[in-house]
Amino acid sequence: MKNVVYLCMDAAGMKTKIIFSERSLNYGGWHIEGPQRVRMAQEILKEKKYEFLEPEAASEEDLMRVHDPDYIWNLKKGLVEDPDTPAYENIYEHARLSAGGAILAAKINGFSLMRPPGHHAGRNGAALGVYTRGFCYLNNIAIAVKALDKPVVILDIDGHHGNGTQEIFQGDEKVVYVSLHRYPHYPGTGASSKGNALNFPLSADCGEQRYLETIDEALGMVNLDKFEVVAVSVGLDAHLGDLASLGLTESSYREIGKRIGVLGKNTFFVMEGGYVGEQNGRDINQLLRGYEEKNKVA
Ligand SMILES: [Zn+2]
């Protein structure tokens, strides 16, 4: 009996912790980027016995490492509406808490299951000439990477190109940005690689096999010896039928997770898109199971 207990404890100890706050459910019920995306995912992960941690809001100093003071001021005042991205009441506080989730994930190698998402937000809001901020206010993963101040590989598996993240880290020698995304599609950027931004545009009918071949090629181009940490922008909207479908399924996320795990680095995950809550929960579980199966931190 004793052995059984120890085995269970070991297994539980290896599980990636999920960062989540009920406060992220309190706004935007009518929008496609709404609370159901993370509420249902959280319920599924709870059933799967993941441990949850509550984040604290990021400080203004954390935000200023990434965003312009003028943009932060406008966000505080709610002067940031665009056709995709509403100026909800208290959106500054919601966005700050989501950024804080990413910072905590970076500290503990966890998974931040918070909203709003962030990878379309550039230094001043809309990035690389794109007209909207695509449901994003603050670039959560960028804020976490800047707070860490270590050499980082950012792997963006959201089905949309992370134009904000590319803009923020373009030319930054400490960071390489790797993105697989549907193209042509919103936001219309990421057609080709540029310096430290390695972009892999994929067609809507891509499917799992081609996607996995591409992720292998992409990660093969990164000199991993130069980087200490892997930060993953986890959008699940490349799932078959979701907003930026590339024909992926639950099993594809398991395979993606394994490929992240074998890199053998300290790794954290930050939620981006993915618009079907139940599907998000199942995909995250598979991604983390695949990752945990293979990850052996050096
Ligand atoms: Zn997306």
Give the pLDDT confidence of 242-289 residue by residue, as tens digits.
999 999 999 999 999 999 999 999 999 999 999 999 999 999 999 999
Q: Token pair 């200490």 is at which residue?
A: 228
Give the pLDDT confidence of 207-253 residue by residue, as tens digits.
999 999 999 999 999 999 999 999 999 999 999 999 999 999 999 99
Give the pLDDT confidence of 162-173 residue by residue, as tens digits.
999 999 999 999
Give the pLDDT confidence of 3-61 residue by residue, as tens digits.
444 444 444 447 999 999 999 999 999 999 999 999 999 999 999 999 999 999 999 99
Tell me if residue 181 is catalytic: no
Cα of 5 from ligand 1 centre, angstroms: 41
* Whether the predicted pLDDT of 109 surpasses 70: yes
In sequence order, the 6+-apart residues with CB closer than 8 A to the CB of 62 are: 99, 100, 103, 143, 146, 147
Give the pLDDT confidence of 116-161 residue by residue, as tens digits.
999 999 999 999 999 999 999 999 999 999 999 999 999 999 999 9
Q: What is the pLDDT of residue 14?
A: 75
Cα of 160 from ligand 1 centre, angstroms: 4
Amino acid at 161: H
Report the sign of the C-alpha dihedral through residues 95, 100, 105, 111, in that order.
negative
- Determine which one of 120, 160, 181, 239 is catalytic: 120
Does the domain at 2-294 match CATH 3.40.50.1820? Answer given as no
Q: What is the pLDDT of residue 5?
A: 44
Asked whether 244 and 160 are in contact (CB, 8 A), the reply is: yes
At 297, is the pLDDT very low, low, confident or very high (cuts 50, 70, 90)? confident
Cα of 169 from ligand 1 centre, angstroms: 19
Q: pLDDT averaged over the chain?
A: 94
Cα of 8 from ligand 1 centre, angstroms: 36
Asked whether 234 and 268 are in contact (CB, 8 A), the reply is: no
Q: What is the pLDDT of residue 9?
A: 40
CA of 246: how far to CAs of 52, 175, 199, 228, 241, in Å? 30, 26, 15, 30, 8
Cα of 7 from ligand 1 centre, angstroms: 38
Cα of 244 from ligand 1 centre, angstroms: 6
